[in-house]
């Protein structure tokens, strides 16, 4: 029992998409289902870690044993991550946070028009903001359509990550939802592990194992 308490760490895991409202009935989002983040949170909780799951809107039931926080927008997710990471040991940012949001949100439904223009502005870069948080192990994800290794390494360096999980969206590999996928996992020591046709549960187990070794 004492050994179990000694290994217990505080994990913050994000999952799912964010949604950025355009008007009361429309929004910008992406195809993220939250499956990866929920799998990681489930594994972390089962291993006895204190686990907080911050999730965008998805059709999944929160895993048992985790503290669950629901958000919608990138700004809401940023607020929760920044406040919850202060005393955390590890942040695993599996959420697909929208890079952009509408400059203005219409209070009324925008009627169809040939001349409608939607202006976008950048959302906050959450991982970049926690880059220099001392004592926090940071893991991120990269979804690419090409140059997967080079782009993942660039993101890892730019955002000061200890671990990055990358996958590619093409005709052979659809990273969204359930099923077997291809993953590329790179740690801060430059070690690369390729997972071929693996489930997200299997990928989550590898991520947790690597992160736990970093925290010892």
Domains and CATH numbers, the chain: 2-100+120-215 (3.40.50.10300)
What is the average pLDDT value for the chain, to the nearest integer?
91
CA distance 138 to 92: 6
Mean of pLDDT values over 2-10: 62
In the set 30, 72, 151, 173, the catalytic residue is 30
30 belongs to the catalytic site:
yes
Q: What is the pLDDT of residues 112-166, one digit of tens each?
A: 877 788 999 999 999 999 998 989 999 999 988 778 899 999 999 999 999 999 9
Average pLDDT score over residue span 55-84: 97
Distance of CA 175 to the CA centre of its chain: 13
Please give the structure tokens belonging to residue 73. Answer: 């927008």
Given a contact cutoff of 8 angstroms between Cβ atoms, the answer to whether 87 and 11 are in contact is no
pLDDT for 17 beyond 60: yes
- Residues 15-38 have a mean pLDDT of 96
pTM of the full predicted structure?
0.91
């Amino acid at each position: 029992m004492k050994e179990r308490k000694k290994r217990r760490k505080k994990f913050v895991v994000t999952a799912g998409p964010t949604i950025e409202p355009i008007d009361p009935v429309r929004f910008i989002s992406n195809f993220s289902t939250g499956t990866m983040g929920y799998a990681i949170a489930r594994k972390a909780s089962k291993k006895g870690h204190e686990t907080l799951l911050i999730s965008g809107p998805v059709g999944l039931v929160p895993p048992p044993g985790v503290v669950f926080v629901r958000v919608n927008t990138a700004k809401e997710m940023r607020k929760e991550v920044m406040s919850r990471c202060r005393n955390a040991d590890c942040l695993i940012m599996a959420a697909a946070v929208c890079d952009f949001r509408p400059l203005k949100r219409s209070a009324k439904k925008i009627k169809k028009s040939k001349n409608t223009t939607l202006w976008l502005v950048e959302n906050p870069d959450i991982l970049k903001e926690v880059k220099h948080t001392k004592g926090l192990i940071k893991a991120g994800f990269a979804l690419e359509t090409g140059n997967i290794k080079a782009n993942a390494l660039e993101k890892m360096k730019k955002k000061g990550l200890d671990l990055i999980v990358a996958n590619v969206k093409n005709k052979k590999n659809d990273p969204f939802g359930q099923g077997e996928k291809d993953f590329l996992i790179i740690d801060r020591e430059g070690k690369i592990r390729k997972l071929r046709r693996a489930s997200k549960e299997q990928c989550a187990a590898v991520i947790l194992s690597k992160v736990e070794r970093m925290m010892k």
